Every structure is written in C-alpha cells, then in structure tokens.
C-alpha cells in the first residue's frame, strides 16, 4: 500500500501516461457551455472545448473546482494511503487552492487518520505539472512526504513559464493577463509575451509577428538554462502544427532530458485564445 497519494488539477497539463504512471489523482475545474457542465479533461478534451468556445464564446465560461470536488478526491484516496499531498494551481490566479484548503477542513474529522498537505505551486500549466512530477518522482524513489514537498518546492523556485499570445482580446474575459499588456495589444495590434512569476502573470514584451515571438521564447529559455540539461513542456492552444515546430526547435537547440507537447487546458486557453504558444521549463541542478 502506498503511503502517500498525490492530487493535482488539470491545469497542470500533465500527459495522461504520466498521470497513470505515478497514480496521480486528478481534480478538474468546470467548463460551462449552453447550460451544460463539463469537467475539464475528464468529460471533454481541450480540442472539443475550443470548438465550443469558437462556436459561441458568449455561452462559454469556466470556474475552478469547488471544495466538494476535493472532498471527493480526498475520500477516494484516503482508503489507500496514510498521507495525501495536494498540489494546486497558483492561489493568485484561481480559487483552486482555497477550495483544496476548505475541503481539507471539511474532512479533517471524517479522515482524521489521514494527513493532508496542500501545496501552492505558485504557477500554472506545465510549470505546475513539473512541480507535481517532482513530488511524484521523489515518492516513487521512496522519499518521505516531507522530502517530496521540499523537492517540489525546489522545482517550484526554478521552473519558468513564458508564452506568446496570437491576440490579446481574449484576456479581457478573465483579467488574468496584465491590463497594460491588454492595452498595448489593443492599441498596436502586436502579440504580447507573458510570463508567470510569483504566482501571477506579468507582461514581458511585445512582438509584431509570431516568428519573432517564438525566437524570443527560445532566447529567454537559453538565458535561463544555458547548456544545462532541461525539462521542457511545449504548449499550444489549438495550434498543433505550430506546437510541433516549436518542439522540434527545442529538441534541436537544447539538451532535453524530458519533453512533452500538450495543449493548454481550456481553463487557461479561455483567457489566452487560440494560437498561443508557450514553454514551461527548468534546468537540472
């Protein structure tokens, strides 16, 4: 019997094979469309969600998972483990972290024999995924819960996320993208480049075309990792071919010890729009 179970959310954009390999329990935010509710990634794929968004943007909305979703997840894994580590999307970008904490309080008497720890990843998408994987791999190696949390925190402190938007107009839907970037994009018809630092989105630059923007992403990654071995998640929002091209450039220009290509969760894609490309990465010690 495993002594520790990991719970994560779908915004971490983890490939299904890694979720299954490490037995990670997934909690999903909700997608609402025309009176129906879909659990992100579980009831609907990113591609299907983007098709709905294109069909009728005014009928499409999202929300973080409620505490009840975490209560259910805690109950499901508590029968198998002595400890639970729940890693969430940045608390500054979503109510997800607060929901996980609230659920912990709700079940503390019912699951009094199970220790539940909730860790704020302070990031999103594949960067969050790497924090989750760091903990999962530490536990798979036989590390203790405390050691796994410390290793996850170290990766949290090193991981970067940078992406370029095809258009800024979707950012007004959620307010997650800095207002100044939205204004610049609207005024000059440029493509903003955004990073996630300290748990929030920051305007990082602008470019007038996608090619220069992709070069900017790669140059920013080069400055951060140099020649060190690197873990990379290549992201796209309904732009698979562009994502594949970016992935090939990453493989050609960097020493990748791990890489995966994945769509942005629609929870993020709702505010970034189609055509977004991004890199989540960190260098090994």
Taking only the tens place, the pLDDT of each residue in 37-50 is 999 888 888 888 88
Q: Which two tokens stand for residue 168?
A: 């800024």
Higher pLDDT, 226 or 270: 226
Window from 104-108, 125-129, 164-168, 223-227 with minimum mean pLDDT: 164-168
How far is it, in rounded angstroms, from Cα 19 to Cα 154? 21
24 shares its domain with 153: yes
Rounded Cα distance between 126 and 114, Å, is: 29
Range of the domain at 246: 160-283
Contact 26, 9 (CB under 8 A): yes
Q: pTM (2 decimals)?
A: 0.91
pLDDT at 272: 75
From its phi and psi, is residue 231 left (phi > 0), alpha (psi between -120 and 50) or beta? beta
Q: Which two tokens stand for residue 72?
A: 């259910």
Residue 73's contacts (CB-CB under 8 Å, 6 or more residues apart) are: 7, 25, 27, 86, 103
Domain co-membership, 165 together with 153: no
Domain check: are 9 and 133 in the same one? yes
Q: Are residues 129 and 254 in the same domain?
A: no
Domain count of the chain? 2
Cα–Cα nearest to 247, from 194, 258, 266: 258
């Amino acid at each position: 019997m495993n002594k520790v179970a990991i719970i994560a959310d779908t915004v971490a954009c983890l490939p299904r094979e890694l979720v299954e390999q490490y037995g990670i329990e997934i909690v999903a935010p909700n997608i609402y469309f025309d009176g129906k509710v879909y659990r992100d990634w579980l009831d609907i794929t990113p591609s299907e969600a983007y098709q709905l968004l294109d069909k009728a943007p005014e009928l499409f909305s999202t929300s973080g998972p409620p505490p009840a979703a975490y209560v259910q997840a805690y109950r499901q894994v508590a029968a198998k483990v002595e400890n639970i580590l729940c890693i969430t999307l940045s608390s500054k970008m979503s109510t997800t972290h607060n929901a996980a904490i609230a659920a912990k309080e709700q079940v503390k008497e019912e699951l009094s024999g199970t220790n539940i720890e909730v860790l704020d990843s302070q990031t999103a998408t594949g960067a969050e995924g790497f924090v989750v994987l760091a903990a999962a791999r530490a536990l798979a190696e036989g590390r203790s819960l405390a050691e796994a949390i410390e290793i996850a925190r170290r990766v949290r402190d090193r991981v970067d996320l940078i992406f370029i938007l095809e258009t800024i107009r979707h950012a007004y839907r959620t307010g997650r993208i800095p207002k100044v970037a939205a204004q610049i994009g609207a005024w000059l018809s440029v493509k903003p480049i955004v990073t996630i630092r300290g748990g929030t989105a920051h305007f990082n630059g602008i470019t007038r075309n996608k090619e220069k923007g992709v070069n900017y992403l790669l140059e920013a990654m080069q400055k951060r990792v140099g020649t060190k071995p690197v873990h990379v998640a290549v992201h796209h929002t309904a732009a698979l071919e562009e994502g594949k091209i970016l992935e090939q450039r990453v493989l050609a220009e960097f020493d990748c010890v791990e890489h995966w290509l994945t769509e942005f969760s629609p929870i993020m894609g709702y505010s970034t729009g189609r055509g977004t490309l991004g890199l989540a990465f960190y260098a090994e010690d």
